[in-house]
């Protein structure tokens, strides 16, 4: 939070989320907003992976089919719809929640032995062209470290915790396929678990996609440098994307 502009960016994003949650129209339409958030988030997560389906089609409940693009959308949708069921597990056993999400994401792509398990080799899919992933042993070690950190008490805002979980999972790409879906779902898990967005009404993926795929990649690469300036760049970018998503959800009430 002491890094340049991070505190201000997080405050703006949190204010946007609170404005959505406290809007009296939200109380009567929470279920509708939750479904919209899951569908929109799935659409945008799939689009980030390179599988783009028209938004109106997805919001209407269509778009999932046997085509390659429809199958990727289906994977993303299974993940976002499962998030509320994994919040309790995330609180005490993050790896268990991640495994459950990955099983749903990759069930039609990987063998049963690879579902929900960190990759056993150094090969990981790279739809965003981030570059070589860490070795399987390094990825597993850092994944275990991340899980320990996520269960420790902290005064860090949930938006910072969510950004770190997201970026670390994207950097590690711990699964042979589908790590991106799981990483973006982790943002929802953190915000729900820490009571920032308990109903998953915000669709963070929409902000990530709207900010631009190139911008998303640049911010992730900044994080992956391991420098203070790179970390600040990612945290500010991430908070801005989440704040945008909250403002968009509130605008949808109109």
pLDDT in tens, 210-219: 999 999 999 9
The answer to whether the CB of 125 falls within 8 A of the CB of 173 is yes
Joined together, the tokens standing for residue 94 give: 């993050």
Strands (E), the chain: none
Ordered by where they begin, the domains of the chain are 6-252 (1.10.3290.10)
User: Which residue, 62, 76, 187, 93, is CA-closest to 127?
Assistant: 76
The answer to whether the CB of 238 falls within 8 A of the CB of 219 is yes
The predicted structure's pLDDT at residue 102: 98
Cβ-based neighbour number of residue 139 at 10 Å = 22
The predicted structure's pLDDT at residue 227: 96
User: Which residue, 7, 4, 20, 6, is CA-closest to 196?
Assistant: 20
Joined together, the tokens standing for residue 102 give: 């990955």
Which of the residues in the chain have pLDDT under 50? none
The predicted structure's pLDDT at residue 114: 95
């Amino acid at each position: 939070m002491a890094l340049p502009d991070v505190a201000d960016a997080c405050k703006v994003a949190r204010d946007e989320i609170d404005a959505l949650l406290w809007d009296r129209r939200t109380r009567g339409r929470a279920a509708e907003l939750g479904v919209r958030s899951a569908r929109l988030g799935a659409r945008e997560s799939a689009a980030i992976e390179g599988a783009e389906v028209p938004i109106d089609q997805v919001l209407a409940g269509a778009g999932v089919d046997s085509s390659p693009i429809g199958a990727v959308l289906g994977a993303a949708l299974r993940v976002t719809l499962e998030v509320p069921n994994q919040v309790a597990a995330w609180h005490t056993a993050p790896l268990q929640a991640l495994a459950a999400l990955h099983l749903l994401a990759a069930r039609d792509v990987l063998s049963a032995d690879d579902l929900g398990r960190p990759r056993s080799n150094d090969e990981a899919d790279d739809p965003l062209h981030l570059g070589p992933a860490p070795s399987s042993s390094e990825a597993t070690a850092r994944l275990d470290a991340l899980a320990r950190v996520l269960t420790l008490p902290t005064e860090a805002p949930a938006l910072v915790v969510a950004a770190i979980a997201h970026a670390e999972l994207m950097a590690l790409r711990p699964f042979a396929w589908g790590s991106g879906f799981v990483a973006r779902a982790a943002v929802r898990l953190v915000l729900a678990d820490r009571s920032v967005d308990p109903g998953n009404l915000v669709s963070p993926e929409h902000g990530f996609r709207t900010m631009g795929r190139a911008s998303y990649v640049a911010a992730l690469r900044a994080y992956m440098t391991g420098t203070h300036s790179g970390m600040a760049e990612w945290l500010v970018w991430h908070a801005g994307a989440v704040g945008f998503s909250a403002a968009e959800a509130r605008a949808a009430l109109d």
